[in-house]
Structure 1
Amino acid sequence: MDISKRLGEVAALVSYPTVADIGTDHGYVPIYLHKKGKVKKALACDVRKGPLEKAKENILLYQVQDDIETRLGSGLVPVKPGEVETGVIAGMGGMLTVRILKDSPEVVASLKELILAPQHDVDEVRRYLHSIGFRIETEHMMKEDGKYYNIMRCIPGEERYPREIDYLYGAKLLMHKEPLLKEILTSEEKKYQVVEEKLIQSDTDNAKERLVQVQEKLRLMREALVCL
């Protein structure tokens, strides 16, 4: 079956034969993994009935109903501790990803890996992973249809980043001089420079407060750009 480049890269990081795909939508990731021979058992979970019904149809279409089960529920709640080795959470915001992990601590603690692709607030995801004893083994970026995506594989283990920019922009991305990150930060720096110039010209208290924030943001961006 054909899946998007983004979902293909998410699936490529899965290392264990039992998987729960959270927010499965149409069930593409578990079906693709099964067809590739990478999983023996998968749970396709979604909080919405409509997409889950579509996932059921696709599971029957590809004749994988003996190995892929659909479950209705929020986040990891439909999954029992120890039931699967891999948790996939892709295509959601970073804060929702964190909330899903927070809501099912026993399930998360039983996993051997998390494959995550948060769409924003990625720094908050990195911080939370470290707070619950997961380390980010791999992280890379990709671009599809003009949008940038972070994709990471996380495994149990203690890890802390020494610098703020490591959490903001990704220690692995900085270490490997990720060109897409450089592309984003170069563009963002220009935008913030324009804002900085306008704030400097303004004399209000609000402008002065905002200027301090913007200049700190620029400092962190430039610190990261030096690494890239």
Structure 2
Amino acid sequence: MVIISKRLKRIADKILPDSKLADIGSDHALLPTYLAQKNQIQLAIAGEVNKGPYEAAKKQVENSNLQHKIKVRLGNGLEVLDKEEVDTIVIAGMGGGLITNILNQPFDYTGVNRLVLQPNVAEDKVRRWCIENQWKLIEEDILEEDRKIYEILVAERSEEAYEFNQQIFANVMHRLDCNIQLTRKLKILMGPHLINRPTAVFIKKWNMEIAKREKVIEQLSQSNLEEAVQKKHEFSLEVEQLKEVLKCLQRDKQ
């Protein structure tokens, strides 16, 4: 059995049994190999845009004798897939901007019913893409590994996506005794599911993010330019609200 990281194991847990999987940016094909060895998937397409990782993925599949179950293809993003070939797409381990660029490629999503997305940064861009493109944001997960914090977003295709997502965002912090009116921007930034079920890792991440923003505010304070003053004001308001949210969440967990 191939050994995979805690991050990839958590992603693997989001793949439904008997899925037809596309792993875009597969990098050594570790995820599809692991899932195939567990007999959790029917088949997998491992896509790579660069020749080096493509060859490494082919070698991994061959060494595991899984050529009958995993096809490794060289190409840019979703162009490696044929129509209705898979029902689940994983895009993990890259920036949120790049993930949304891949998702925006000309592609017929017919037959695809699940997305498992793990951006390294700019998670809010990925959330916004799901919301704006008729995907229900059904789950969010967060974990720490090797001093890095990762978020995993799971979305499903649905005609009721708009109503579902509206309800999810409307219910953020609804159960808590907090007099905080979060902006939709902040809900998308932090993640509605993660806010409602805060973990120690989530709290740690946002304490770190507050510290980063406070450094930016300190730098902006050194400029009298109108743009800098405006940005300082925006960051200060965001930091104030983030602190209020964390204070409320931590009080609720006591």
Verify same fold: TM over 0.5. Answer: yes
Structure 1 residue aligned with 2:130 = 129
Q: Which residue of 2 aligns with 1:75?
A: 77
- Give matches, 1:1-228, under 5 Å: 1-15=2-16, 16-107=18-109, 109-157=110-158, 158=161, 159-160=165-166, 161-162=169-170, 163-193=184-214, 195-196=216-217, 203-228=224-249
When residues 43 and 221 of structure 1 are mapped into structure 2, their CA distance, relative to the original with a 3 A threshold, is same
Structure 2: unaligned runs, 5 residues or longer:
171-183, 250-254
* 1: CA distance, partners of 2:118 / 2:219: 35
Does structure 2 retain, via aligned residues, the 8 Å contact 1:95–1:124?
Answer: yes
Matched residue SS, 1:91? strand
Distance in 1 separating the partners of 2:50 and 2:216 = 41
Q: What's the TM-score once normalised by structure 2's chain length?
A: 0.82
* Cα separation, 1, equivalents of 2:206 and 2:69: 43
The corresponding residue for 2:180 is none
Partner secondary structure for residue 99 of structure 1:
helix
Distance 1:207 1:169 in 2: 24
Q: Which has the higher contact order (CA 8 A, sep 6+)?
A: 1
> Residue 10 of structure 1 aligns to a residue in which SS?
helix
Query: 1:64 aligns to what SS in structure 2?
Result: coil
**1:23-61 deviation digits (Å, cap 9, x = unpaired):** 011111111000011012111111111111111111111
Distance 2:248 2:115 in 1: 27
Question: Residues 18 and 124 of structure 1: is their aligned pair in 2 closer, same or farther, counting only changes over 3 Å?
Answer: same
Local SS of the residue matching 1:111 = coil
Give the gaps of 5 or more residues in structure 1.
none
The question of whether the paired residues in 2 share the 8 Å contact of 1:44 and 1:69 is answered with yes
Is the CA contact 1:165–1:224 (under 8 Å) kept in the aligned structure 2? no
Structure 2: how far apart are the matches of 1:179 and 1:12? 20
Change (3 A) 1:117 1:198: closer
Q: Within 2, Cα distance between the matches of 1:190 and 1:134?
A: 33
Instruction: Give the direction of change, closer, same or farther, for the CA distance of 1:40–1:201 in structure 2 (3 Å limit).
Output: closer
Following superposition, the deviation at residue 79 of structure 1 comes to 0.5
Please report how far the alpha carbon of residue 17 of structure 1 lies from its aligned counterpart in structure 2 after TM superposition: 2.2
Letter matched to residue 173 of structure 1 = L
What secondary structure is seen at the aligned counterpart in 2 of 1:81?
coil
**TM-score scaled by length of structure 1:** 0.91
Cα distance in 2, alignment partners of residues 195 and 57 from structure 1: 45
Range with bigger deviation, 188-197 or 92-101? 188-197
Distance 1:209 1:6, change over 3 A: same
